[in-house]
């Protein structure tokens, strides 16, 4: 975190690029976690409880952090326009 620039120090173009990248990565991560959850439910039904049902829940905070970061970036862009 120390090496990252504050959002107020970035240009609008950099903020828009960062917002696009964050949006794509959040969508991809969410999709993967949904597939992993579906596979975990399927395996739990077939074989009983296993770790694959817990893994998507463990990675859920990453999605939440990305969503809050995206909101902050959008707010910064809105304040500049």
Nearest partner of 68 among 76, 80, 56, judged by Cα: 76
pLDDT of residue 5: 62
Contacts of 16 by beta carbon, 8 Å cutoff, 6+ apart: 77
Along the 81 residues of the chain, how does pLDDT read in single tens digits? Answer: 444 568 888 889 999 999 999 999 999 999 999 999 999 999 999 999 888 889 999 999 999 999 999 999 999 899 887
Which pTM value belongs to this model?
0.80
Every domain of the chain and the residues it spans = 12-80
């Amino acid at each position: 975190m120390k090496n990252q620039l504050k959002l107020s120090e970035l240009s609008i173009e950099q903020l828009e690029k960062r917002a696009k990248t964050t949006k794509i990565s959040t969508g991809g991560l969410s999709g993967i976690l949904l597939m992993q959850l579906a596979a975990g439910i399927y395996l739990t039904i077939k074989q009983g409880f296993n770790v694959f049902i817990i893994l998507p829940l463990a990675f859920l905070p990453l999605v939440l952090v990305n969503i809050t970061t995206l909101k902050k970036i959008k707010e910064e862009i809105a304040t500049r326009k």
